[in-house]
């Protein structure tokens, strides 16, 4: 898709379709008033006749409107003008794309950028229009023998800005929007691939591919023999039951000041999670290919950062394994030694994500990080607590947590903070090791984070539990690409705060 920005009145756009917002109670937007005046009251006459009310989701496609140069004008209902939120803005853009796909228009001038979204500027609206458009257009059909093809696919969007003074910032917003969208798209593709294709070896190959595409990304991969030398007994206890060897992937993007401590992202990469000896129920087990969506989001956001060419230092670490039952697989009751030297009693082999993350979090110390953020489809308890809307957030550093909450609000990829109190640590007590890998029935998301917190005492750290947001089930089954948008926004906010 080609995206650009342009200033100019809607009636003068020589293009396939101009998209114009209309508000509830039949209220015309600025661009609608301009078209109405040029067409001698055509729009207002249609509204008076009740052709469109302006409610959210309403659409009306007009052809050959008098005194306009475009082939079509698409009116989009936006609801009450004062009530438009981040989520509403996404829905309006989704409605636009769904409608346009059946019109035959391929080149579009969007005036939805004039919509007022609380505390959001034109640059935000351009960036997030691109993300919303690409989200609606996304299809995963790589593995189908017959590809679905659109007769006349959309190929170009031009976003309206108010005057030439906004063009430069608008072009930057386009670049950021396209980069973030590409990162989300990559994370979706990786998440949607089945476990027989997307193995730890495949993920490592995709990370290496990034370093070929972007000169500023340096990718390295540790093999099981390397991890054994480092003492990563916890991580290796998960991969031992699989014929797929574990990998520890590191992607370094060092485009900032050499003295700047890096942001480190750590993504859980369990490419298929059978539960191991603590075998999962068969129903819905196919969705356990999504247990590597934390890894996918780290690869996606590293791609986005490189595409944006940001002057910042970021490291992505992906511990990746397959969790399978086998004669060699870990048993409930086994005790392993982590890279940190702490011992862990494995009471449930299906609580494997924290076992690979803890060694990766210890490994992160070597980069002397400014902050470390891990991203993981870690607990079903998070889905019970928060559903499918926000990711769970826990942190040992309140300023970092606040920054992530703010980035979530700005990006529309929200998270919600849960407590990380010492009171919960007692649930991880073991009679035979330094800790158990589960903490009982209560507060499963919190006790999982408490486990990880024991390996993050040397730096500021946050944990994002994305079990409820990384993919959708049912009719619309598929990876969402979250939280690439949140992470990209966090990095952009960090750069802004340092100016």
CATH of the domain at 381: 3.40.630.10
Q: Compute the average pLDDT of residues 393-405.
A: 98
If asked whether residues 17 and 145 sit together in one domain, one would say: yes
Q: Compute the average pLDDT of residues 313-342.
A: 98
Structure tokens at 6: 């342009």
Reply yes or no on whether 414 is catalytic: no
If asked whether residues 214 and 355 sit together in one domain, one would say: yes
- Give domain status of residue 170, yes or no: no
335: left (phi over 0), alpha (psi -120 to 50) or beta: beta
Q: Are 390 and 296 in contact (CB under 8 A)?
A: no
Instruction: Give 3-state DSSP helix, strand, coil % of the chain, rounded to 5.
Output: 40, 20, 35
- Give domain status of residue 166, yes or no: no
Half-sphere CA count of 261, side-chain side, radius 13 A: 11
> Is 164 a residue whose pLDDT tops 90?
no
User: Domain limits at 398?
Assistant: 179-497
pLDDT tens, position by position, 263-314: 999 999 999 999 999 999 999 999 999 999 999 999 999 999 999 999 999 9
Task: Give pLDDT, residue 207.
Answer: 98
> Is 76 a residue whose pLDDT tops 80?
yes
If asked whether residues 114 and 195 sit together in one domain, one would say: no
Cα–Cα distance measured from residue 491 to residue 407, given in angstroms and rounded to the nearest whole number = 9
Q: DSSP states of 332-401 as a string? A: TTEEEE-TTS-EEEES-TT--HHHHHHHHHHHGGGG--SEEEEEE---HHHHHHHTTSSEEEEES-HHHH
- Give domain status of residue 167, yes or no: no
Task: Give pLDDT, residue 165.
Answer: 86
Q: Compute the average pLDDT of residues 404-424.
A: 97
If asked whether residues 197 and 297 sit together in one domain, one would say: yes
Task: Give pLDDT, residue 151.
Answer: 73
Q: Which of 161, 195, 222 is the last residue of a domain?
A: 161
pLDDT tens, position by position, 196-247: 999 999 999 999 999 999 999 999 999 999 999 999 999 999 999 999 999 9
If asked whether residues 185 and 319 sit together in one domain, one would say: yes
If asked whether residues 12 and 149 sit together in one domain, one would say: yes
If asked whether residues 15 and 128 sit together in one domain, one would say: yes
Of the pLDDT bands very low, low, confident and very high (cuts 50, 70, 90), residue 498 is confident
Number of domains in the chain: 2
Q: H-helix or E-strand containing 124?
A: helix 122-137
- Give domain status of residue 172, yes or no: no
- Active-site choice (125, 188, 354, 414): 354
Task: Give pLDDT, residue 147.
Answer: 78
Q: Are 266 and 361 in contact (CB under 8 A)?
A: yes
Torsion sign (Cα): 426, 427, 431, 434: negative
CATH code, domain carrying 33: 3.40.220.10
Contacts of 270 (CB under 8 A, 6+ apart): 238, 288, 291, 292, 320, 321, 322, 323, 352, 353, 356, 377
Q: Output the pTM of the full model.
A: 0.96
Task: Give pLDDT, residue 104.
Answer: 87
Task: Give pLDDT, residue 23.
Answer: 97
Q: Which of 161, 194, 213 is the last residue of a domain?
A: 161
If asked whether residues 400 and 446 sit together in one domain, one would say: yes
> Is 150 a residue whose pLDDT tops 90?
no
pLDDT tens, position by position, 242-262: 999 999 999 999 999 999 999
Structure tokens at 207: 């990370």
If asked whether residues 185 and 114 sit together in one domain, one would say: no
Q: Compute the average pLDDT of residues 308-324.
A: 98
Nearest to 353 by CA among 235, 480, 249, 435: 235
Cα–Cα distance measured from residue 451 to residue 45, given in angstroms and rounded to the nearest whole number = 65
Q: Which of 21-25, 38-42, 246-250, 494-498 has the lowest mean pLDDT?
A: 494-498
Q: Compute the average pLDDT of residues 158-163.
A: 94
Reply yes or no on whether 26 is catalytic: no
Cα–Cα distance measured from residue 356 to residue 343, given in angstroms and rounded to the nearest whole number = 14
Of the pLDDT bands very low, low, confident and very high (cuts 50, 70, 90), residue 451 is very high
If asked whether residues 252 and 383 sit together in one domain, one would say: yes
If asked whether residues 316 and 208 sit together in one domain, one would say: yes
> Is 481 a residue whose pLDDT tops 80?
yes
Q: Compute the average pLDDT of residues 180-190.
A: 98
| Residue carrying the six token digits 């480092």 | 230
If asked whether residues 410 and 444 sit together in one domain, one would say: yes
- Active-site choice (280, 454, 472, 494): 280
Structure tokens at 29: 């937007």
Q: Are 415 and 405 in contact (CB under 8 A)?
A: yes
Q: Which of 128, 161, 194 is the last residue of a domain?
A: 161
- Give domain status of residue 312, yes or no: yes
Cα–Cα distance measured from residue 15 to residue 108, given in angstroms and rounded to the nearest whole number = 7
On average, the pLDDT of the chain sits at: 96
Q: Are 382 and 445 in contact (CB under 8 A)?
A: yes
Angle at 272 between CA 420 and CA 224, to 5 degrees: 85
| Burial state string for 439-453 with b = 16 or more CB within 10 A and e = fewer than 16 | beeebbbbbbbbbbb
Task: Give pLDDT, residue 146.
Answer: 85
- Give domain status of residue 268, yes or no: yes
- Give domain status of residue 253, yes or no: yes
- Give domain status of residue 171, yes or no: no
């Amino acid at each position: 898709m080609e995206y650009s920005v342009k200033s100019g009145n809607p009636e003068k756009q020589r293009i396939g379709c101009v998209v114009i917002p209309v508000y509830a109670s039949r209220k015309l937007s600025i661009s609608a008033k301009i078209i109405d005046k040029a067409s001698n009251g055509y729009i207002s006459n249609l509204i008076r006749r009740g052709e469109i009310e302006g409610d959210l989701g309403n659409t009306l496609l007009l052809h050959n409107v008098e005194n306009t140069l475009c082939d079509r004008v698409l009116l989009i209902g936006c609801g009450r003008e004062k009530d438009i939120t981040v989520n509403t803005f996404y829905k309006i853009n989704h409605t636009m794309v769904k409608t346009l796909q059946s019109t035959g228009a391929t080149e579009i001038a969007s005036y939805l950028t004039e919509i007022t979204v609380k505390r959001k500027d034109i640059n935000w609206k351009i960036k997030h229009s691109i993300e919303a458009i690409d989200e609606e257009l996304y299809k995963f059909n790589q593995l189908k023998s017959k590809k679905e093809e659109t007769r006349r696919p959309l190929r170009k969007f031009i976003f309206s800005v108010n005057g030439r003074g906004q063009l430069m910032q608008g072009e930057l917003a386009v670049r950021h929007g396209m980069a973030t969208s590409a990162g989300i798209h990559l994370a979706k593709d990786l998440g949607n691939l089945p476990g027989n294709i997307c193995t730890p070896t495949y993920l490592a190959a995709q990370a290496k591919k990034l370093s070929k595409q972007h000169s500023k990304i340096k990718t390295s991969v540790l093999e099981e023999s390397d991890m054994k030398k480092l003492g990563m007994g916890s991580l290796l206890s998960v991969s031992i039951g699989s014929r797929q060897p574990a990998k520890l992937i590191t992607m370094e993007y060092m485009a900032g000041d050499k003295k700047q401590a890096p942001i480190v992202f750590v993504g859980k990469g369990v490419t298929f999670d059978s539960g191991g000896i603590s075998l999962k129920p068969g129903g819905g087990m196919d969705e356990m290919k999504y247990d590597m969506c934390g890894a996918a989001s780290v690869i996606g956001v590293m791609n986005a950062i490189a595409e944006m060419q940001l002057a910042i230092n970021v490291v992505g670490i992906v511990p990746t394994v397959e969790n399978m039952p086998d004669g060699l697989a870990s048993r409930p009751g086994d005790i392993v030694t982590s890279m940190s030297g702490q011992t862990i009693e494995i009471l449930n082999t299906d609580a494997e994500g924290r076992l690979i993350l803890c060694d990766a979090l210890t490994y992160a110390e070597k980069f002397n990080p400014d902050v470390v953020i891990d991203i993981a489809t870690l607990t079903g308890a998070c889905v019970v607590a928060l559903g499918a809307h926000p990711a769970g957030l826990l942190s040992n550093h309140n300023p970092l947590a606040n920054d992530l909450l703010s980035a979530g609000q700005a990006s529309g990829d929200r998270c919600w903070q849960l407590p990380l109190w010492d009171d919960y640590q007692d649930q991880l007590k073991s009679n035979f090791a330094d800790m158990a890998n589960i903490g009982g029935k209560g507060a499963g998301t919190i006790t999982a984070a408490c486990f990880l917190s024991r390996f993050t005492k040397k730096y500021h750290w946050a944990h994002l539990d994305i079990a409820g947001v990384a993919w959708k089930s049912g009719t619309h089954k598929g990876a969402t690409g979250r939280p690439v948008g949140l992470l990209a926004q966090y990095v952009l906010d960090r750069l802004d705060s340092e100016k």
